[in-house]
Amino acid sequence: MKAAVLYEANKPLVIEELTLDNVRDNEVRVRVAASGLCHSDYHFMVGDMPHPTPLVLGHEASGIVEAVGSNVTTLKPGDHVVTCISSFCGGCPECLGGYSYRCDTKPTRGPQPASSPLILNGKPIYQFGQLGGFAEEMVVNINAVTKIPREMPLDCAATLGCAVITGFGAAVYGAKVRPGDTVAIIGCGGVGLNVIQGARAAGASRIIAVDIADAKLELARKFGATDFVKGGDDAVGQINELTRGGVNHAFEVIGIPATIRQGLLMLKKGGQLTMIGVPRFDAKLDLPALPFLQKEVRIVGSTMGSVSFMLAIPKLAEEYLAGRLKLDELISQRIALEQINQGYEALMGGGVARSMIVFNDVLKAASQ
């Protein structure tokens, strides 16, 4: 099978022919239908997050189950699934406490790369997040996939696995936005647009989109934003003016200290900044201390939507099928696996929300 391999940070991904190990007892093999180009993978491609190589990235995938291991009873070949990076063991204190997305002991095959199912030229290579979605097929743990209804188009479904659950979940399950709240979203890419639709679903009164790219502000309007602010030093002043003193909730969906700081400064009393964007591994924050006391503001992180993906993804699929969740509009372009480097160039150019790698033969088979 073909996969996009990262050999070295800041070098283009290379399409290689790999072999895939057989499924083990608790695993499934998935023929990939669609795989989204998330900004998180890009952090590894440019070395913002170091990772040993050779590595197959990609974590926002959908597909059709091809084979299941001997312990797998909940899925069978032919089922349609979405993968998620928040795989879980089900038995650690985090899982037992209801926080499976923070699982302490994620299920693995053993140390990487030796135990990876991805074999290149006879040698195992690293599988990102135990997934490796930039490939024609994946072998993953049963607790890293969830079944979705057959009516759900698999290209749209892939977005549920990261962009949607991360953004929508941060608003609904993480920050618990309430009806009437005012909300600002800094960074309206694939994830930020889903914070917008989460805030809308939660009943926010004003949803202020902040981005440096005009195309993203235009998209934000489609997803339910009510006000629009051009990103930059002036953003805080504009939001404080628009809201007469700040918002109840700010979400930072880029991962840079300057905009995290802005998120704090645009809060009204009792407000909360939720950090979603992944910062560089060595990033530090320089924040004014007094607002924490004077305004009782809070900063918290939200990872993978602060919710169990097995609970949330099937519900989000139903929301899409009922016409209450926008997914088609997230996919700016459909590309072949071979166009992955151009896809990332387009993401960094600011014009696209999600580029989606699609395998047309699989999508066609899925719709029959």
Which residues are marked as active site? Answer: 38, 40, 43, 59, 162
Select the binding partner of residue 182 from Zn ion, ligand APR, none (C-beta < 5 to 8 A, by kind): none
Is the N-terminal amide bond of 77 cis, ω within 30° of 0? no
Subset of 338-367 contacting ligand APR (CB under 6 A): 347, 350
- The rounded distance, in Å, linking the Cα atoms of 133 and 35 is 6
Question: Based on C-alpha coordinates, what's the Rg of the chain?
Answer: 20
Select the binding partner of residue 125 from ligand APR, Zn ion, none (C-beta < 5 to 8 A, by kind): none
- The rounded distance, in Å, linking the Cα atoms of 229 and 209 is 6
- The rounded distance, in Å, linking the Cα atoms of 191 and 173 is 15
- The rounded distance, in Å, linking the Cα atoms of 139 and 3 is 13
Please state the closest distance from residue 134 (CB atom) to ligand APR, in A: 15
CB of 265 closer than 8 Å to CB of 236? yes
Taking CB under 5 A as the rule, does residue 40 contact Zn ion?
yes
User: Under DSSP, is residue 339 helix (H, G, I), strand (E, B) or coil?
Assistant: helix
Please state the closest distance from residue 157 (CB atom) to Zn ion, in A: 15
Output 157 or 353, the one with its CB closest to ligand APR.
353
Output 124 or 169, the one with its CB closest to ligand APR.
169
Residue listed under structure tokens 């391999």: 5
Q: Strands 247-252, 267-275: parallel, antiparallel or unpaired by DSSP?
A: parallel
Residue 204 phi/psi, 5-degree rounding, is: -60, 145
Query: Per-residue x/- mask for Zn ion, residues 156 to 195, rule CB under 5 A?
Result: ------x---------------------------------
Task: Point out which span in 35-43, 108-116, 134-142, 333-341 binds ligand APR (CB under 6 A).
Answer: 35-43
Subset of 135-174 contacting ligand APR (CB under 6 A): 166
- Identity of residue 146: T
Tokens of 12: 């283009």
Taking CB under 6 A as the rule, does residue 246 contact ligand APR?
no
Please state the closest distance from residue 43 (CB atom) to ligand APR, in A: 6
Select the binding partner of residue 212 from ligand APR, Zn ion, none (C-beta < 5 to 8 A, by kind): ligand APR
- The rounded distance, in Å, linking the Cα atoms of 266 and 200 is 19
- Contact positions vs ligand APR (CB under 6 A): 38-40, 43, 166, 186-192, 210-213, 216, 231, 253-255, 259, 276-278, 347, 350
> Interface residues with Zn ion (CB under 5 A)?
38, 40, 162
